A and B are shown apart, each in its own frame.
Chain A
Amino acid sequence: MKWHVLRPLWVAIALVGAIFVARALIVPDDFGVHGRNFTYGFHRLSNIQEWRDFPIKYQGREACVECHEDNVAMLDRASHATVECENCHGPAAGHPDPVELLPLNTTRELCLRCHARLELPNTDRGDLVGIVDRRHKRRQKCTRCHNPHDPAEDMR
């Protein structure tokens, strides 16, 4: 006897089976609970290594000093000692090979980030040497007169 309910039932069972097969093929083997519990640690384990392998761009002063001892020594003595080289010279990834020259930033805007005078109490901003942009050597490059490695030096 043929029972009309059975045919759609086989279809449904086949569909569920197909979903299980597809799931087994698509979901990576390392997918599961790896952290402290299901809520916060359900993930693909190899992704942690993928993030660790993300390329580093900013190399830090320790990398610069290997070749540029003189400049770093001058900077270390000056009031700009706490400023990272790469803040002005750009991230050193790949330098000197194949990136021979770094994108040095000598714009007025870069200096003004710290040295535009702002009357803001409760911040250390007022302790920094500050200028009013429109009143001090307008549109001229700061580096014409000031040595960024040793700002106290008079270059005029």
Chain B
Amino acid sequence: MTCSRRDFLKGAAGGSLASTLPLSAFVILSRAEARQAIDESNLRWAFLVDTNKCVGCGLCVKACKNENEIPYDAPVTRTWVERYVITDDGHAHIDSPMGGRDGYTSMPVGEDGEEIDPDTVAKAFFVPKLCNQCDNPACVQVCPVGATYQTNDGVVLVDRDWCIGCGYCIMACPYGVRFFHPEHKVADKCNFCYHRITDGMLPACVECCSFGARRIANLKDPDDPVTKIITTERVAVLKDEYGTKPHVFYLGLDANVR
């Protein structure tokens, strides 16, 4: 057997390289194991609003205020329902008295101070709104003290002990979902009822909706029925052009909705 110097050196180099590779480099990880290895959550909360189903009863707003201890008669709310009435002349009448807390029981009032004649209504619908739990939350970016942040499951929370109440985040949110809490004197916002969803319950507004207009999803679970709707049906988000990557998806969203 002969071995040239060249072959010997080649073999020695290759062998020493191969010996540095650990056995674990050849293990194929499952998706869950890979996620765990990089400490990624298997949860990403998202929301689905079906504007076709909302009838404007406002029970979601009432439930939200009770559940999250938002002063009931203060003009602030974590979620609200807007009513859009578009008349034959193309004019959009948009109202949301007290965020729709008491429901909509009469026709909206037009510019002349009279209730709008139902015969002149071209189309009308209700749009529930809440925090979009953006993937690129502008409100978090501007916080000067690190009092608001995004959790690993996608929800944006406010640290009430750390917030200094400067209000930058309220200005920064393109959706206007943040407000100043009148009692705690800090910024406040919808957090998908974080205490409920982490406990296996539905958010209060979802639970209290009798019409299935509000639903919550885990986007990282492909078998989640609501995730299936979001991924397979035609859904829209609000203010996509802002690049915030909102995670509240709407079915039946009209171009009049801002």
Contacts and interface: CB of A to CB of B under 8 A. Distances in A.
Interface of A: 31, 34-36, 39-44, 47-48, 50-58, 60, 82-84, 86-87, 90-91, 109, 112-114, 116, 118-125, 128, 133
A154 to B, nearest CB: 23
Contact of B150 (A31, A40, A84): A40
A58 B151 CA distance: 24
Contact of B63 (A44, A87, A116): A87
Contacts of B194: 51-52, 54
The interface residues of chain B, by DSSP majority, are classed as loop
Nearest to A34: B149
A58 B199 contact: no
Contacts of A60: 201-202, 207
B162 A120 contact: no
A107 B122 CA distance: 33
16 contacts: A41-B150, A43-B146, A51-B194, A56-B195, A57-B204, A58-B204, A87-B208, A112-B103, A120-B56, A120-B118, A121-B121, A121-B122, A123-B55, A123-B56, A124-B54, A133-B105
B57 A123 contact: no
B149 A42 contact: yes
A29 to B, nearest CB: 14
Interface string B188-201: 00010011101101
Given A35-B152, A57-B66, A113-B103, A87 B59 contact: yes
B204 A114 contact: no
Interface stretch (B8-16, B123-131, B224-232): B123-131
Contact of A113 (B59, B123, B124, B140): B59
Determine which residue in A83, A112, A125 has the highest number of CB atoms from chain B within 10 A of its CB, and name it. Answer: A125
Interface of B: 52-59, 63, 66-68, 85, 102-107, 118, 121-126, 136-137, 140-141, 146-152, 157, 159-162, 191, 194-196, 198-199, 201-202, 204, 207-208, 210-212
A65 B157 CA distance: 33
B191 A51 contact: yes
B123 A116 contact: no
Contact of B56 (A36, A52, A125): A125
Contacts, number: 147
A123 B123 CA distance: 9
B125 A113 contact: no
A51 B68 CA distance: 11
B73 to A, nearest CB: 15
Nearest to B156: A40
A30 B160 CA distance: 16
Given A51-B191, A58-B204, A123-B124, A39 B67 contact: no
B146 to A, nearest CB: 4
Nearest to B198: A52
B151 A55 contact: no
Given A35-B149, A56-B195, A120-B56, 16 more contacts: A34-B149, A35-B150, A35-B152, A43-B157, A48-B151, A50-B161, A54-B195, A58-B204, A90-B66, A91-B66, A91-B67, A113-B102, A116-B106, A118-B104, A123-B54, A123-B56
